[in-house]
Structure 1
Amino acid sequence: MRLLRVSSVAMLALIIAPAAYADQESDRLREALRSATAQARAAEDQRAALQAKLTATEQERERLRKQNEGYRAQVKEAEQAYRQAVKDFNERIAERDDSLEKWKAAYGEAASVARTKDAERTKFESEAATFKASSKACEAKNVRLVKIADDVVAQYEAMSPFEKILDHDPVIGFKRVEHQNAAQDFRDKIIEQKAKP
């Protein structure tokens, strides 16, 4: 019986051992399945988080791309505005240069006219001074002519009627020669006073 007992214990041990081993294996497999499930959930959570991050990153990238396009459009507009401003500035400089050349030409013309007018003024002042001197000389000669004319009239008035008859009488004419000589002297004095331009 003892053998039977030992054999039954051995048998029972053989039956229990694999069952115990199977339970241990089953527990280990369950534990492994729980661990794998937890890891799978964690990986799925991580994948979902990464997917959300990826979506946010793609949205941020799209926003930055649009912003970049906006900035490029602004830069392009700024470049066009700069080119237009440079073109306008160059046109204004060209217009200013043209105006400056016109002013220079007008100034040169005005200066030339001023020099011509100044030369003419100097010439006319010189002529005016000459004419003033000539006019004063003429006035002095006129004064002398008037004096000579007064002398002629005074001498003629000083003649008596008898002298006038004797002077004009062609037959007697005593005083005629004397009268002609006096008239010639007066004529010479008048000719001396003639103005010479």
Structure 2
Amino acid sequence: MTFADSPVLENARVRLEPLGQHHRDALAEAVAVDDLWRTWVTTVPAPHDMQEEIDRRLARQAAGEIAAWAIVDPASGSAVGMTTYLNLDTPNRRLEIGSTWLGRDAQRTGINPAAKLLLLARAFDDLGCHAVEFRTHWHNHQSRAAIARLGAKQDGVLRSHVVWKDGTLRDTVVFSIIAPEWPAARAALMARLDANA
């Protein structure tokens, strides 16, 4: 088992499958709703770029750089988003959960926290991580709030960190959950999912 593996992970709310080209059409449909791919504060592939984005992620996974999943709604059996483990740091037992997006119809359905529960459990319980990071755009208030609801704490802001797709400079907000915090974060996530069952 390595940090770059992407086994099937599932619970009652979501199934994470190893990303593949067979997810392409459903993912292209998901980003087309309300032109999600045009969102300024995050990077979501355009429908016509989905094949290329899947190929890019799979090439990075083959190189041992990331672990890539399709987020599948078990009710419909359709892929509704993507997520990855990034910045894999096996010697220091750290990784980042990121490059995540969900189609509009899957947002606020419990799919995201259910997926994060699976990813965090794999990171801490199976891979023995000391810390799991989350990073987002300073102006992505929806993402920042969602990360905080997971139990992550804000570590800081990397100012002028990345040249963004429109040429502006992105300030990156860094959050993390560390291993001693995981039991409480897990309990809170499970209670949240139970309350919305």
Q: TM-score range by the shorter chain?
A: under 0.3
Structure in which a larger fraction of residues adopt helix: 1
The structure, 1 or 2, with the larger RCO (C-alpha pairs under 8 Å, 6+ apart) is: 2
TM-score (norm 2): 0.18
Q: Of the two, which has the highest radius of gyration?
A: 1
